[in-house]
Chains A and B, each alone.
Chain A
Amino acid sequence: MNIEAIRNQILIEEREMQHLNNEISSLENARSNMTEEEYNRNLNNINTYLAQAQERLNQNRQIARAYDSVLTNIRALNQLATLTPRDRQQEDEIAEEKEAREEEIKRMNTFLSEDLQEEIRKTIEEENQTSIIQEEQIKTSSQSQAQDSSLETVSILDPNFNAAGMTYEDFRKKYREERNLYQNNEEMLGRLNNIYSMVRNRRRNEKNNPNYLKDQNGEVMYYPGTSIPQPRLQNWDEPTEDYNAFLYNVFGKQLEENGYFNHDSNNLLRLENKYNIDKQDEVKRLENKYNVDKQDEVKRLENKYPKTNTNSNPTSTTLKNRGYRDVIDELYLAMEEAGFETLGKKDASRVAASNIKVAKNFVNQVKNQPSLFYKITTAAYELPKGIASLIRKGWSKFRTSNEQKERVKFLQEKIQSLPSEDMEILYREYRGNEITNRLDQDSMNFLLNGAIAKYARDMAREYANKNELITRKAYLTKATIDMFQEKMGADKTSKKQKASYQGVIDYLTQDSGKMVGEFLENNNKQEEYLHGNSGIRNQQEDFRSSATKASNKGWRFAKKQDTDFELYHREREAFNAIKEGIIKAENGDKQGNIDALNALIDYNALEHSETSTKKGIFRGLYSTGKREAKEIVEENNYETDKSLLGLRNILLTFAAGTAIVSEYMHQLELQTILEKQKDAFDTVGQAGQTINSNKSTWAEGIKDTTYENIQAMQDIGERHAFTAQMNQNGRMTGDIYYDLDTKYHDMTKNSFDHAYNSFLDIASEHSAGTITDTQMLQQLADVAKDSYNNLLETYRNCVPTLEEYGLSKYATEELIGIISETAQKSPEAVVNMYQSLVDVSSIGDELVTLSAEQTQALQSLPSNMLSTVMTTAAMYGLVCQTGKSMANSNYNEEAKQANESLADMIADYEQMNTKDFLHEYNQGEEIFNQYNGNTQQTRGK
């Protein structure tokens, strides 16, 4: 039977089965009309037919599937046969696939008859024949197309002809054709030969031009279908902007000069005209110019561009010419002068191997095998476990040398002592992505980025501080003039008094317009440093370090962050009122000063009502309102803030701990077990539930700080921060966290295995009667304590290791920044997390004590659950430890500290009466007493 027949048979049998199933239904419906015996007999018959039909159907389907499979695989094999592997790896892959497909064909052929196999062969043959014919058809049609097209191209002698628009071979072919055509026309032949020579010479020159891309054989590479050379590739140490400059200014220019885009015949004419006419006169003129006047010319040039002394201070270059490269070069120079090497050791060949010893049997083995037959495997093995555990011995030291620390420290000091002009240059120009072959380029990038962020912060702070003073003055002035205006409005005030009050008001507000103008300027500058192209906030996208650690002093202004258009509109109106006041004042209208002042107060009140802040753990004040609060910053120093330090350590532990818990916590399973064995579980169950219920809180608190986030830190590290303090081999600092995490995983796995195996041993000894209940409980408690101690030791080993790195402040700030950034997404969660830590600490100690029933219950757990519980027991022992230390910290107290703030001042102004306000801020009484009933003018005082 051929395949078509088989497929038809499948359809027939499917219909047959459907019919039989319908028969069964009919039989069921007619059951009441027949005896049981009849019913059963009929049913059996139908089922027999059904079974037979099903079997036939299955067989045919199998055959059809096998047929399709063989066909597909043969087609795939034919396709593979046409591929040329580009490297050994691909060759291996192709071979592998080939083998797999051949096996599949062999397997499928066992289901197929000879006839079907023959049919497949014929089908493939026909397909191959068809494709050959099609290819030939395409070929002939393209040839004819090519022939047609050649007739349509312009002649070489045509003014519009451009040899660069075709490959050189095509050009030569065309030249030969036309030479034959014009063989009897001397003039045409001459022109033809000239153009050909020009193109040929151009091509020869290309080979020596370093700006063009060459292949391995030194041949110039052209754009496809043309003879226009491609530009060289970007050098590995060449900044992109330089390469772009090369492309536009050098490569592009050369293409133009060499006439790739000009029509060659025209180009030739142009060149001929240029150098033929007056050539000799021109040459003489040039020779005379540079021979006779040469010395004078040289002197003139030397005077214009005097040579600089080698000892001259590089900073003598003008600020206009001085760029960030100059600053960086000087830093490297300083390093070299201090005796540090600055060139990178990127070439492996510079890291030389010596004292090579080879085993003879290996030499014999490799005699006929190139190095490609060997694979260097880096991470596929582990050290033997039995000798000593990783837990107790810790891990091998990270490779840092003292020299590396010294280098980085030196650089750090140099950068910190850069003058503000250099910092401004760096702030404007440096993007932190320099790639050079200099050693410590990564450190340099990192340190500079940190310094720039700090500089921007400092500058923003400077302007914010200025504005704070202005605002204070504004509020006090406003309160004072309000007071006087009130007095002026009173019935008892005489005209003379009114005049004197007015004089006071004029005096106090004479500079208000200017002051408000200054305020706006400072605000703009602050805005720029925070939010501009290289502002902190944008850098913060990269750094996430604590750029805006606010102090308790702060005042609120706004940056547009959301789309509250109504608010935006009101802001704009208030802003315009300010500007109108300023302009009025500038034009000599005294009322303008008061208007500007009023407008500023109003604007500020508007913003104040829309901003709110919260104190974060690391961030200090941060915005939670519609408008972002812009703070006067004072840095919180982690190293002196013990409560923050404690919390940081907890978070660090949690960063790894959460990874452990989330990986091994089988929440649903545990819940099921707990439900089934509630009574038996008792303490363990309760602890588990508490743990469970708190887990989500912890997860909220450090939402994404799992292994994946640690991986993400590596990505961030690649951009800037983490690459700083590594050794000469250029190992990325992101590896710290990778290693840490790997070690945590290793450690916890070992901890699991150790705890689980110990538990099994104890349980089996107990069940064999070798140890008593009490002994068992004690040993279980020991195991739990052991695991806990191991974790604790790891924790103790881990944190100092992080701090060991030279720029630990930055590194840990980064980590903290990332963790706190995550935490900031749900700030309540962090508070809750802390609280839950305290809760857990009260029950943690009980985990190490187990009753017999609890042990039995544990033993009945699936092995993975058991390991989970044992590890969680250990984990929470650790949590207890840190929770307890947390409870002793002063964090809460600090958060409650209230300082006098400008924000409070503003709030008070809105609520208090003028006299009390001035009294509160110790300004008004004096003025009030001075002018109350006193007609003396104070102008010019």
Chain B
Amino acid sequence: MEQVEDLGKITIVKDGQEVECDIIFTFDNEELEKRYIAFTDYTKDENGRQNIYFGAIRPNIDYEKLEYNQLDKVTSKEELAMLQDVLNQITEL
């Protein structure tokens, strides 16, 4: 696990408003051939937990210059479990 000074930002549209989010971590999955990015706008849900959004991008795309149509949503259970796993690893640092 590598700690990086800055992973950049990404703009999303939430509830009709454009919001700039910080990219907080990224990782790859070679089997699925995808790169995942996690980003947050530091908002919290109704239970006080910070919202983290995820997207997946195809290989050979430089995620630091990500364009809108290069980000896929992540919905499969296995991938979500993997994401949770990575988040757990980070919080255990």
Could you tell me if A375 and B52 are in contact, using CB atoms closer than 8 angstroms?
Answer: yes
- The answer, yes or no, to whether B61 is at the interface (CB within 8 Å) is no
Which residues of chain B from 38 to 67 have any CB-CB distance to chain A below 8 Å in the complex? 45, 47-54, 67
Return chain A residues, CB-CB under 8 Å to B28: 353-355
Residue among A353, A366, A388 making CB contact with B27, cutoff 8 Å: A353
Other-chain residue from B51, B82, B93 in contact with A353 (beta carbon distance below 8 A): B82
Main secondary structure of the interface of A (DSSP, over half): mixed
Decide: A387 and B68 in contact? CB cutoff 8 A: yes
Say if the beta carbon of A911 comes within 8 Å of chain B. Answer: no
List B1-30 residues whose CB lies under 8 Å from chain A. Answer: 1-7, 11-14, 18-19, 22-30
Q: B91 near A366 (CB under 8 angstroms)?
A: yes
A800 at the interface (CB under 8 A from B): no
Q: Are A357 and B82 in contact (CB under 8 A)?
A: no
Is there an interface contact between B85 and A353, defined as CB atoms closer than 8 Å?
yes
Q: Is the CB of B76 within 8 A of A730?
A: yes
- Pick the contact of B83 from A345, A376, A381 — CB < 8 Å? A376
The residue in chain A whose Cβ has the minimal distance to the Cβ of B31 is: A351
**B29 CB → nearest A CB, Å:** 6
Given A352-B31, A353-B82, A382-B12: A362 and B53 within 8 A (CB)?
no
Q: Which residue of A lies closest to B51 (CB)?
A: A377
CB-based contact B82/A362 at 8 Å = no
Q: Of residues 324 to 352 in A, which have CB atoms within 8 Å of B's CB atoms? A: 345-346, 348-349, 351-352
- Asked if A429 lies at the interface with its beta carbon under 8 angstroms from chain B, I say no
Given known A371-B88, A376-B87, contact A729–B26 (CB-CB < 8 A): no
> Chain A residues near B93 (CB, 8 Å)?
358, 363, 366-367
A92 within 8 A of partner (CB): yes
**For the complex, what is the distance from the CA of A375 to the CA of B49, rounded to whole Å?**
6
Task: Select from chain A the residue with minimum beta-carbon distance to B50.
Answer: A374
Q: How far is the CB of A371 from chain B (nearest CB, A)?
A: 4
Q: Do B14 and A380 have beta carbons less than 8 Å apart?
A: yes
Contact between chains at A89 and B25 (CB < 8 Å)? no
Closest chain B residue to A379 by CB distance? B73
**A393 at interface, CB cutoff 8 A:** yes
Q: Which residues of A contact B68 (CB under 8 A)?
A: 383-384, 387-388
Roughly how many angstroms separate A393 CA and B47 CA in the complex, as a whole number? 37
Q: Which residues of A contact B5 (CB under 8 A)?
A: 359-360
The answer to whether A375 touches B30 (Cβ under 8 A) is no
Set of chain B residues within 8 Å of A382, measured between Cβ atoms: 12-14
Give bound CA distance, A345 to B12, whole Å.
Answer: 32
Given contacts A353-B85, A376-B84, contact A388 B69 (CB under 8 A): yes
Contacts of B48 in A (CB 8 A): 92, 373
B residues within 8 A CB of A729?
32, 76-79
Q: Which of B12, B23, B29 contacts A351 (CB 8 A)?
A: B29
Give complex CA distance A375, B53 in Å.
Answer: 9
Q: Who on chain B is nearest to A731 by CB?
A: B76
Determine the chain A residues whose CB is within 8 A of the CB of B49 once the complex forms. 372-375
A729 to B24, CA, bound (A): 25
With CB as the reference atom, state the residue of chain B lying closest to A354: B28
Give chain B residues whose Cβ lies under 8 Å from the Cβ of A352.
29-31, 82
CA distance A594 to B36 in the complex (A): 80
**B24 x A362 contact (CB < 8 A):** yes
A359 touches B25 (CB 8 A): yes
- Complex Cα spacing A371 to B89, Å: 9
- Chain A contacts of B31 at CB under 8 A? 351-352
Cβ distance B12 to chain A, nearest Cβ, rounded Å: 4
Evaluate contact between A89 and B14: CB separation under 8 angstroms: no
How far apart sit A40 and B56, CA to CA, in the bound complex (Å)? 80
A370 in contact with B91 given A354-B28, A384-B12, A393-B69 (CB within 8 Å)? yes
Closest chain A residue, CB of each to CB of B56? A399
Task: Please name all residues of chain B whose beta carbon is closer than 8 Å to the beta carbon of A370 when the two chains form the complex.
Answer: 91
* Least distance between A388 CB and chain B CB atoms (Å): 7
Closest to B4 in A: A357
**Alpha-carbon distance A730/B85, docked complex (angstroms):** 19
Give the shortest distance, in Å, between A466 (CB) and chain B (any CB).
50
Q: In the complex, what distance in Å separates the CA atom of A88 from the CA atom of B47?
A: 9
Known: A358-B4, A360-B3. A383 touches B69 (CB 8 A): yes
Measured between C-beta atoms, what is the minimum distance from B19 to chain A in Å? 8
Are B7 and A359 closer than 8 Å at their CB atoms? yes
Interface residues of A (CB under 8 A from B): 88-89, 92, 345-346, 348-349, 351-363, 366-367, 369-385, 387-388, 393, 396, 729-731, 735
Contacts A88-B47, A352-B30, A356-B25 supplied; 19 other A-B pairs, CB < 8 Å: A348-B82, A348-B84, A351-B31, A356-B1, A356-B27, A358-B1, A359-B5, A370-B91, A375-B47, A376-B87, A378-B54, A378-B73, A381-B53, A382-B12, A382-B13, A382-B14, A384-B13, A387-B67, A731-B76
